[in-house]
Amino acid sequence: MRKQEESQFWQDEGSRPSRRPQKAVDEGHEKNEGFNWNQNNWNREEKREDNNDGWETVGRKPPRRQHKIQKEQWNGYKKPPNEQEYSNDVQIDDTLEPSEEELADLSQGCYRLWELDSNRLVPGKDYEIDCGDGKKAYQKDDMAQGSLFSWLSDDVFRKPTYSRFCSLLDNYNPNAGHKEVVTSEEKQEQAAFIEEISRTAPIKYLHKYLSAKGIVSGNYQDFKRTISSLWFDLYGRGGTSSCSSAFEHVFVGEIKQAGEQEVSGFHNWLQFYLEEAKGNVDYQGYIFPRRRGQIPDSETQLLTVQFEWNDILKSVSTTLVGVSPEFEIALYTLCFFVGGEDNYVQLGPYPVNIKCYRFGDRIGSVFPIAEN
């Protein structure tokens, strides 16, 4: 697996003009995962020129604000998990015991997970987004004058589950079909991340829920191994073995080629923020909701957007903004084990369909679709 060059990581660049000979995978069609990929396409060298002599390029977006991450502790995550320090366990009380109603109704269980996400960020306090203007999914004009994220508090990356999650994102080569090699240090990062989130309320509730239904072992250590295997074990897509995982596809994103280059997966807001900060994501605007009068704003935490990732357009992508890593792991795991392909649930104020595609006994893809 590759690590991205540190010199590129936090470079503050202006956005390049949009190029769209490619298209992205629509959320409703991500189950077509067979493809071949020419790795050289991803590794092409981007040539960007600064404006000279005071001239400005017409239609060019203003430069992105530089974002920096507190990464000093990331090297410590590579140590053996038993040598690392973790947050205190949340105390198990009645709020972590699923009720009979919740066990009988997946939507109520998901709603409880939303309520238990005490680590969820607060818009305007922890971060700010600028949705720009809206568009239909088929429209290709860039409707955003700048980045989606205006700012994100430095304190966010001091949160243990957030910090550990972000440290995993650069462990992958996004070229679909590229065989991944997991180093011993990366395995330790994965194990430490699972240990950290297992101390939170959403994951403890997930265990109570699944064990009550006889889906997982009542032993918490066995349960943690099940979650780690579900999200991090490698499997093959498109004829290449060990080239993908649920974590890589859902949270990091992959580039595949089935005639044309396509963005597949990439459903996490933290990955969006980090890639936008590096200049790899160009936000194109939000997609109009199906119902009029429900226009997203800076307070919205369920957002359907269009963007380019390394010049490849993703025409539709819905993201839960500001939710914690443990919440998304718990939510998607619950829907995978208990639900079907379509899971109509209520998350706080948002009616959502959690779309879940299975790849044998693995998660092929899972992501939210706004039911507005």
**Does residue 313 form part of some domain?**
yes
**Does residue 36 form part of some domain?**
no
Of residues 260 and 206, the one with the higher pLDDT is 206
Mean pLDDT, residues 22-36 = 41
pLDDT at 62: 57
How many Å apart are CA 99 and CA 306, to the nearest integer?
39
Neighbours of 57 (CB within 10 A): 11
How many Å apart are CA 169 and CA 175, to the nearest integer?
14
Contact in structure between 283 and 147 (CB atoms under 8 Å): yes
Asked whether the predicted pLDDT for residue 138 surpasses 80, the reply is yes
pLDDT digits (tens, 9 = 90+) for 185-201: 999 999 999 999 999 99
Look up 178 and say whether it is catalytic: no
Record the tokens describing residue 42, joined without a space: 């991803």
pLDDT digits (tens, 9 = 90+) for 221-280: 999 999 999 999 988 777 677 788 999 999 999 888 766 788 999 999 999 999 999 999
**Does residue 167 form part of some domain?**
yes
What is the domain extent for residue 235? Answer: 100-370
Asked whether the predicted pLDDT for residue 43 surpasses 60, the reply is no
**Does residue 6 form part of some domain?**
no
What mean pLDDT, rounded, does the chain reach?
Answer: 82
Which of 61, 207, 224, 314 is labelled catalytic?
314
CA-CA distances (angstroms) from residue 309 to 19, 31, 48, 257, 263?
11, 20, 16, 14, 7
Q: Where does the pLDDT of residue 53 fall: very low under 50, low under 70, confident under 90, or very high at 90 and above?
A: very low
Pairing of strands 149-152, 281-287: unpaired
Q: How many CA atoms lie within 13 A of 66 on its CB side?
A: 7
- Which DSSP symbol is given to 281? E
Residue written as token pair 């379509």: 342
Three-class secondary structure assignment of 128-153 = EECCCCEECCCCCCCCCCCCCEEEEC
pLDDT digits (tens, 9 = 90+) for 82-91: 888 899 999 8
How many Å apart are CA 275 and CA 297, to the nearest integer?
21
pLDDT digits (tens, 9 = 90+) for 151-175: 999 999 999 999 999 999 999 888 7
**Does residue 51 form part of some domain?**
no
How many Å apart are CA 351 and CA 122, to the nearest integer?
19
pLDDT at 70: 64
**Does residue 72 form part of some domain?**
no
Which of 135, 204, 267, 355 is labelled catalytic?
267
How many Å apart are CA 261 and CA 278, to the nearest integer?
21
How many Å apart are CA 224 and CA 198, to the nearest integer?
7
**Does residue 244 form part of some domain?**
yes
**Does residue 290 form part of some domain?**
yes
Look up 67 and say whether it is catalytic: no
pLDDT at 7: 38
How many Å apart are CA 330 and CA 85, to the nearest integer?
22
CA angle at residue 351 from 345 to 354, to 5 degrees? 50
φ, ψ (nearest 5 deg) of residue 79: -70, 160
Q: Where does the pLDDT of residue 80 fall: very low under 50, low under 70, confident under 90, or very high at 90 and above?
A: confident
Rounded to 10 deg, the angle between the 220-232 and 184-197 helix axes is: 130
Number of domains the chain contains: 1
Record the tokens describing residue 177, joined without a space: 């079909």
Which of 159, 224, 249, 355 is labelled catalytic?
249
